[in-house]
Structure 1
Amino acid sequence: MKANVVAIVFRCKVTGSELHTSDEAQAFEWLTPKEIPTRMSEAHAVRMLDAFKARGGPRVRSHDSFNLLDGQP
């Protein structure tokens, strides 16, 4: 499938108050890096894992909505 998709993942931390759902977030979970690959497709998991390694700037990945393309690590 070819599509023009830009996915942005932010690394967050708790600063106070409590998390809650909204019109922009229907659900939320805190996951460890070890849990991430077991909970979502490779294409989504790599975005989350990249956020844990945020040092060094943004990452650009090519995928087919489920799997990485071109043998990316």
Structure 2
Amino acid sequence: MADLPRHPVAVAAAVTNDHGLVLALRRPEDGRWEPPGGMLELAETIPDGLRREVREETGLEVEPVRLGAVYQNTTTGTIVLTFRCRVLGGRLTVNEEASEFRWMTADEVREQMPEIFAGRVLDALADTEPPLRLHDGKRLTAHW
């Protein structure tokens, strides 16, 4: 069993404000709009990793409110847990991972984010049972 490959685990945050808008950051390497998030470190809990990733990428301190969805990239095997989060404090700060920030409506998320990132955000904003979704790194391929 020790020789079996492992699935990497990542987190993504749909950070909302008091006006119902969701935070997007622009990646400097490709200009894409995405929610904050990234890979969990081996010894960290899911909530701690989520808070760390958001703090590193945005400067904000957040609290997870609810699980929005579970995504599996069928190409890389990466599992992504998406959460709706609320801001506790901090200040948006441009850095090497985020060249710009924007508070977006759900419609703007649909229009400006790549499909897999928009899906994560919209799932986290929905007040439904969190779905399990499969994707190939670019497009959603299945869900249940």
Give the TM-score, by structure 1 length: 0.67
Q: CA deviation at 1:42?
A: 1.4
Q: 2:102 corresponds to which residue?
A: 29
Q: Tell me, yes or no, if structure 1 residue 53 matches structure 2 residue 97.
A: no
Identical amino acids, percent of aligned pairs: 34
Unpaired segments ≥5 residues, structure 2: 1-73
Structure 1 or 2: more strand by fraction: 2
Q: 2:138 corresponds to which residue?
A: 66
Distance 1:48 1:20 in 2: 21
Per chain length, whose mean CA-contact separation is higher, i.e. which structure has more relative contact order (CA < 8 Å, sep 6+)? 1
Task: Select the structure of larger CA radius of gyration.
Answer: 2
Aligned length: 69
Q: CA deviation at 1:54?
A: 4.4
Amino acid at match of 1:11: R
CA gap 1:7/1:54 in 2 versus in 1, 3 angstroms: farther
Unpaired segments ≥5 residues, structure 1: none
Q: 1:4 corresponds to which residue?
A: 77
Q: Tell me, yes or no, if structure 1 residue 18 matches structure 2 residue 87.
A: no
Amino acid at match of 2:131: R
Give the TM-score, by structure 2 length: 0.39
